[in-house]
Chains A and B, each alone.
Chain A
């Protein structure tokens, strides 16, 4: 691996580093093998995930959605080198600055809703929407979508609704008293995406199912 790199996150499927790359600071995301999977099968699956992640990032970039630029895809090592976005996650923003001005929070919510609407418009399903996977640029405060490790392309309203539901659960479980903010996200989402009305309707079904499931335990 590259000298002068700093490990940012050691996950279950990937290690994320920050390090120099072509005169820039880059995020280096390395997927590694899972011990319990067959080596050749694992290599194939890992490779497919890396390709999928890079493709979804690129699909977003081409649709002018603020996402990290892919710099290099190394399929041999299962590594993606990508643009480093200086800033903080929406999670840290909400945790460390509780009770921000309602106006500031509203701006962030609108930015998130718009970004998600644009992403679903090009049929990218994020697959892991949490407040850690939404960054805010240090310079402009613009919201950047990251971590497309579980992303895929689908036109299904159901898939888009579930994507939103995952984010809603993340909000509820990590950020108390953010119902207003989440409602603002959905409002902005509803205005920016074509099929959004249907998707938001579907979200209600998904919620209902979720509730039934949790009642069954």
Chain B
């Protein structure tokens, strides 16, 4: 697991993230999400749509900020993180695209705040999968879907430019 500060809202606590592969209980997790199971305290993101940790940090930062000012667009801090990854304002579509599905086998668990040791325990207890480092992310990403969802110009080919395009699209969704 990795933890990062949220500079914009320091009192929200850190963002904790853990990357899992070979996940076996996605159908169960999906069911619990649909039942709005309160014992699920972290967000679960489809890892093949994540270019870089920064992308998640920006989504989490925005969620923490909007939570701070009571301006969440979705029901919870967890769903807000997932919603913020999407460039569109369509909540259902955003959660469907960037959240997990029954077929998910690799995911990233994201939580804002809390004690890192407890968070890590909770995540590994809940997700039945293999915890891996974020450097594994590269092999997971589905560049075709990333291009489609973020409408990335075909002329943009370098990873750092793709990432900036994605962050720009995420940032602009409330000012379009």
Residues of A within 8 A of B (CB): 2-4, 19-24, 51, 54-55, 58, 61-62, 64, 69-76, 81, 83
Contact = CB atoms under 8 A, between A and B. Distances in A.
Contacts of B156: 64
A71 B10 contact: no
A24 B58 CA distance: 11
A159 to B, nearest CB: 23
Given A22-B57, A69-B164, A64 B155 contact: yes
Contacts of A81: 8
Given A22-B54, A24-B54, A72 B153 contact: no
Interface stretch (B89-97, B121-129, B166-174): B166-174
Contact of B7 (A21, A54, A61, A62): A21
Contacts, number: 70
Interface stretch (B20-28, B61-69, B72-80): B61-69
A70 B8 CA distance: 15
A72 B61 contact: yes
B7 A2 contact: yes
B35 interface: no
A74 B54 CA distance: 18
Given A51-B175, A64-B155, 9 more contacts: A4-B7, A20-B7, A23-B4, A23-B57, A55-B175, A58-B168, A69-B164, A70-B167, A73-B175
A19 B62 contact: no
B8 A2 contact: yes
B8 A61 contact: no
A71 B174 CA distance: 12
B175 A21 contact: no
Interface string B1-41: 00010011010000000000000000000000000000000
Contacts of B53: 23
Q: Is the interface of A mostly helix, strand, loop or mixed?
A: mixed
Q: Give the 5 A-B CB pairs with smallest separation, nearest first.
A: A22-B57, A69-B164, A2-B7, A70-B171, A69-B168
B39 to A, nearest CB: 29
B10 A54 contact: no
A69 B164 CA distance: 6
A74 B172 CA distance: 11
B149 interface: no
Given A64-B153, A64-B155, A72 B58 contact: yes
Nearest to A58: B172
Contacts of A71: 58, 167, 171
A72 B7 contact: no
A81 B9 CA distance: 13
Contacts of A55: 172, 175-176
A73 B168 CA distance: 10
Given A51-B175, A71-B171, A22 B153 contact: no
B65 A74 contact: yes
